[in-house]
Every structure is written in C-alpha cells, then in structure tokens.
C-alpha cells in the first residue's frame, strides 16, 4: 500500500479505533494440572471463584491467582455448574449418574444428590423467573426442571432434538439450542412447556448460546464457523458473523456490547461487537490454545476465563468406545485468563 493511501486509511479509521474494544490477549496462565477431561466452567462474581468441571469432580479455583480452594467430589460425568446465590447453593449436572449434586457455596461441601429422571444431563442453568434449575438431557432429548429449594424434580419437558446450551431471559423464557436439527427452542419456564421452535439460519450444530436481554437477541455458535443471531421475541434471523472452528460456548458482556465465542479447534476467542441490535462485526480473533472451547465471563473486570490442555496419543478404539478422546497429558490442564493486554488487577 502506498504511503498516501496508508495515511488516508489511518485517518479514516482513527475515529473507529477510539470506540473499538481495547486489545484483548491471554494475560495469565494458571497451571492447574490434575488428571481428567473437562466441560463447562462457571464464574461466581461475588467470591471470585471459578468452578471447573473435571469429569468426576469439580475444582473450585481462586480466579485471581489460580489456586485450588476445594474439590467437590462424586460428580460422575459432570458437565455444567449452576449457582443460586440467594439459596447459598450451587449445582452440578452429572451426565453419567443422571443426577445433580447440590453443594454449599460458602464451604463447597456436598449437601445432597437430586435425580433428574433423564439421560445425560448436560447444560445446566438457573432461571430466576421460576426459581427453577433447567438441566438439558442430551441422551433423552428433554429438559429436567428441578426446584432447588425443595431439591426435587418438578417437571420434564420433551424437546425436538438433542439439547445443547441454554439461556434464560429472566422474564419467564428459557431458550435452548437443538444441536442435531439446528433449531432454537423457547420454553415458558413457569408453565414448563415449549412455546416455539425456530430454525437457525446459517448454522450447523449449534452449541454455545448467550443472550442480550436488553435488546432481546440470542447468539448461537455453530460448527460451520458462524455465530447466528436471532430475535428472541419471534425467532427472526437478525445477522450472522464468522467465528473460529470448534466453538462450544458463548457469552455476552452487556456493559460493553461484546459477544465472545471460544473456538477449540482453532484455539482462539472470537470477539464480536454489537453496534446495535441488528448490526454486528468481528473485532478480533484472540489466540488462546487448541482445545479451549468453553468459557466463563467476569462481567465486573472484563475478563474471560477458558481452559485447555495438551493431549497424548489417542487410545485404540474399543466396542464400548469407538471414538476415544486422546488422553490429557499429566499436568497440562490450564486456565487461560483473557483480558485487556495492558490491564492488570
């Protein structure tokens, strides 16, 4: 590019640069180690704790220094962690045991186990409008609704396919991606019934889901390297933008109008800016690490936490396990903290 065009380009982009997000980067690595795979992670803003699912247990980690504070045992096949601060309790979805584990948020001690009567409870969210937990059963294509105060299953909601992640609008609707049909289902969280099923445009195999409750927008991240954006009121396709390969989680930062997608195959974090309710643009693809596919947002300090590991050789297929995961190399499991590149707490 010749110098005059370069100067002109810089002059034209300068006003936009001022409103763009600061440059994000991985600013810290917490070496956690410990054996086993992982799935979702959850951040508790009041206590600065990270809850990391590790197959048969949950690690409770100080988000500011990476130290393991506690281990929540007995969570066989754990996927998700949902927190209910007003009850002082947290819950895990145990995909192999078909249960939820209830634990004390202050002490991390296990309080009880709740059967969900569904197969492979995976994504788990708390819905403030109903005061209920929604566990999405990937093996039986339904949602199990649990009253956390009573510690019991109160409803089961059949779904049109295999549920992936879900989001609540806090006003009586829960939305869930249906992975195998590329649909989005809306659930009335008080009546416990599906009220709409919408086809997702420009999307294959949606996984992560985030919501902008102020503008009524849903962000589904899909395996065809697209984020599909849907109007929560009527299912209208609003926009789609390019993301990396292998996403499994999304988050929305309402204060900054940013949507995040962790892409495990590419090993990057796509950051999307919401210019307004109907217009979106990719700000950056921040390098993370291959396998970093799930995330938790710290909305108070602009931080994103993701987790990754290095892998050894893939074990030989067996009849019981025809597509085995490669083994996690000892000591390689790590929390990555993504923040403004020049920002330290």
Q: Which pLDDT does position 2 carry in this prediction? A: 47
For 61-67, what is the mean pLDDT? 99
Question: Domain locations in the chain?
Answer: 35-340
Q: Is the pLDDT of residue 244 over 90?
A: yes
Q: Is residue 239 within 8 Å of residue 273, measured between CB atoms? A: no
Please give the model's pTM, rounded to 2 decimal places: 0.92
Percent of the chain with pLDDT over 70: 93
Question: How much is the pLDDT for 14?
Answer: 44
pLDDT at 1: 52
Integer Cα distance of 9 and 103 in angstroms = 56
Q: How far is Cα of residue 176 from the mean position of the Cα atoms in its chain?
A: 12
Whether pLDDT at 290 is above 90? yes
Rounded to an integer, the average pLDDT of 46-60 is: 98
pLDDT of the residue at 15: 46
- Least confident range from 18-32, 150-164, 195-209, 267-281: namely 18-32
Query: What average pLDDT score do residues 288-299 get?
Result: 98
* Residue pLDDT, tens place only, 66-76: 999 999 999 99
Judge whether residue 9 has pLDDT over 70: no
Mean pLDDT for the stretch of residues 241-260: 98
Residues 94-138 have pLDDT tens digits of 999 999 999 999 999 999 999 999 999 999 999 999 999 999 999
What pLDDT shows up at residue 304? 99
Whether 4 shows a pLDDT value over 70: the answer reads no
> Does 227 have pLDDT greater than 50?
yes
Cα–Cα distance, 22 to 325 (Å, whole number):
37
**Domain at 35-340: CATH code:** 2.130.10.10
pLDDT at 285 over 70: yes
**Beta carbons of 217 and 262 less than 8 angstroms apart:** no
How many other C-beta atoms can be found within 10 angstroms of the C-beta atom of residue 329?
12
Instruction: Give me the percent of the chain exceeding a pLDDT of 90.
Output: 86
Q: Give residue 343's pLDDT.
A: 64
With a cut of 60, say whether residue 284 has pLDDT above it. Answer: yes
| pLDDT classification of 11: cutoffs 50, 70, 90 | very low
pLDDT for 22: 67
Predicted confidence (pLDDT) at residue 190 exceeds the cutoff of 50: yes
Round the average pLDDT of the chain to a whole number and report it.
Answer: 94
Four-residue CA torsion sign, 321, 327, 164, 61: positive
């Amino acid at each position: 590019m010749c110098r005059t065009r370069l100067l002109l380009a810089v002059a034209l982009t300068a006003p936009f640069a001022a409103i763009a997000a600061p440059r994000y980067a991985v600013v810290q690595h917490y070496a956690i180690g410990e054996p086993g795979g992982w799935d979702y992670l959850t951040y508790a803003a009041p206590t600065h704790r990270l809850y990391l699912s590790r197959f048969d247990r949950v690690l409770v980690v100080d988000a500011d220094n990476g130290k393991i504070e506690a281990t929540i045992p007995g969570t066989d096949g754990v996927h998700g962690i949902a927190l209910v601060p007003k009850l002082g309790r947290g819950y895990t979805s145990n995909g192999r045991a078909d249960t939820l584990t209830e634990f004390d948020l202050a002490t991390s001690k296990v309080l009880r186990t709740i059967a969900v009567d569904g197969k492979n409870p995976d994504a788990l969210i708390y819905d403030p409008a109903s005061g209920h937990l929604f566990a999405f059963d990937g093996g039986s294509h339904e949602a199990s609704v649990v009253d956390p105060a009573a510690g019991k299953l109160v409803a089961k909601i059949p779904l049109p396919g295999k549920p992936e992640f879900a989001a609540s609008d806090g006003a009586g609707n829960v939305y869930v991606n249906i992975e195998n049909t590329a649909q989005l289902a809306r659930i009335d969280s008080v009546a416990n019934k599906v009220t709409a099923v919408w086809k997702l445009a420009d999307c294959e195999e949606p996984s992560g889901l985030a919501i902008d409750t102020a503008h009524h927008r849903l962000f589904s991240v899909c395996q065809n390297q697209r984020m599909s954006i849907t109007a929560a009121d009527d299912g209208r396709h609003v926009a789609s933008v390019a993301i990396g390969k292998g996403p499994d989680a999304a988050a929305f930062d309402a204060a900054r109008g940013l949507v995040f997608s962790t892409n495990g195959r590419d090993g990057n974090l796509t950051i999307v800016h919401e210019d307004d309710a109907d217009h979106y643009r990719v700000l950056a693809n921040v390098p993370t690490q291959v396998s970093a596919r799930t995330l938790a947002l710290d909305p108070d300090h602009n931080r994103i936490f993701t987790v990754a590991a290095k892998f050894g050789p893939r074990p030989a297929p067996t009849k019981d396990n025809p597509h085995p995961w490669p083994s996690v190399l000892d000591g390689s499991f790590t929390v990555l903290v993504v923040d403004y590149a020049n920002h330290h707490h």
